[in-house]
Amino acid sequence: MIRYAFSAMGTDWTILVQHGRADASPEAERVVRDVESRLSRFLPTSAVSRLNHDREASDPVLAAVLRAALTFSRDTCGAFDPCLGAQLASLGYDRTFPEVARDVAFESGEPSLERGVHVFVEGVDVRLVGPGRVDLGGIAKGWAVDRAIETLAEGGAEAVLVDGGGDIAVRGGEWPIGVSDDLVVTLRGGGIATSSTCARRWCSSSGRWFHHVVNPRTGLSAESPVDTVTVVAPDATTADVLATAALVDPSGQMPRLSSRGYQAAMRDQSGAWYTTPNWSAA
């Protein structure tokens, strides 16, 4: 088994490959960095930043990811929303997270009034109409994981795992994935992702705590009876998005996950874990 590691998109990445081309892992890293260069709202030259500033942009990756994100938004009845960039910024998350965590000299807490933005995607062209900004933090990492594993599979690997900071996809083999100390799931393909309000938290100068998962209905950090949700889905993109949606709206989304055959686990505020009946234990 060959292990390859790097850092990108604000997190640590690990690739595990069995019997693949030696140059496939560096190529997968290049794919991830390309996605980051297009979709990060913290890079002023990214396609997302150009879109938010100019209200239009042409980029094939941006268009494809936004098209998928809008479909997920409809499927989750708005629990997942790619148009929360202004809301996140108004809460203080307007820089990379390490910068936010170091700086508490800001006042925040009022949701942004920049609402009602409409996104139009036609081919590789994207337009924004109305106030608001796009943020793809809830889908970009899963998308990059899936593109990376496609690259590795094309390199002839018999079995491969890509872990982008907890957003994971596998092909071939059997992979036991730890969710908590006593909760494990076996993946034989597809993706798994976790969304949590326990990480990426920051405090304003007024002493109020916030986290990065925003409730689209309020524009504020989501208040939920659960603090962590893990979803197993056919790919990492779907798992990434649906874990966030279920964290925002567990009572609405968890039955929807079960009805579609997705595996899911959630932890409530007391620390107790609950899983869907089809959870595949190792």
- For the segment 110-121, what is each residue's pLDDT rounded down to a tens digit? 555 566 799 999
Residue labelled with tokens 């239009």: 56
Confidence at residue 95, expressed as pLDDT on a 0 to 100 scale: 83
Least Cα distance to 231 among 197, 201, 199, 267 occurs for 267
Residue labelled with tokens 């990214």: 46
User: Is there a contact between 235 and 169 (Cβ–Cβ < 8 Å)?
Assistant: yes
Residue-wise pLDDT for 141-157, tens only, equals: 999 999 999 999 888 88
Helix axes 24-39, 140-154, angle to 10 degrees: 150
Q: Which of 75-79, 176-180, 196-200, 202-206 has the least mean pLDDT? A: 202-206
Provide the β-strand partners of residue 118: 129
User: Phi, psi (5° rounding) for residue 270?
Assistant: -85, -10
Q: Tell me the domains of the chain and their CATH numbers.
A: 2-275 (3.10.520.10)
Question: What is the value of pTM for the model shown?
Answer: 0.92
Residue labelled with tokens 């910068």: 99
Q: Encode burial over 142-166: b for 16+ CB neighbours within 10 A, e otherwise.
A: bbbbbbbbbbbbebebebbbbbbbb
Residue-wise pLDDT for 64-93, tens only, equals: 999 999 999 999 999 999 999 999 988 888
Count Cα neighbours of 226 within 13 Å in the Cβ-side half-sphere.
26
DSSP sequence for 28-72: HHHHHHHHHHHH-TTSTTSHHHHHHHHSEEE-HHHHHHHHHHHHH
Cα–Cα–Cα angle for 156, 143, 212, rounded to 5 degrees: 145
- What CA–CA distances, in Å, run from 159 to 4, 25, 56, 163, 191? 14, 13, 40, 14, 14
Name the band, by pLDDT with cuts 50, 70 and 90, for residue 214: very high
Confidence at residue 113, expressed as pLDDT on a 0 to 100 scale: 53
Least Cα distance to 280 among 231, 228, 226, 227 occurs for 231
Q: At 177, which amino acid appears?
A: I
User: Is there a contact between 154 and 31 (Cβ–Cβ < 8 Å)?
Assistant: no
pLDDT, average across residues 84-105? 81
Least Cα distance to 269 among 254, 253, 252, 247 occurs for 247
**Cα Rg, the chain, nearest whole Å:** 18
Provide the β-strand partners of residue 2: 17
User: Is there a contact between 184 and 282 (Cβ–Cβ < 8 Å)?
Assistant: yes
76 or 199, greater pLDDT: 76
Output the six-digit token pair for 115.
Answer: 């609402």
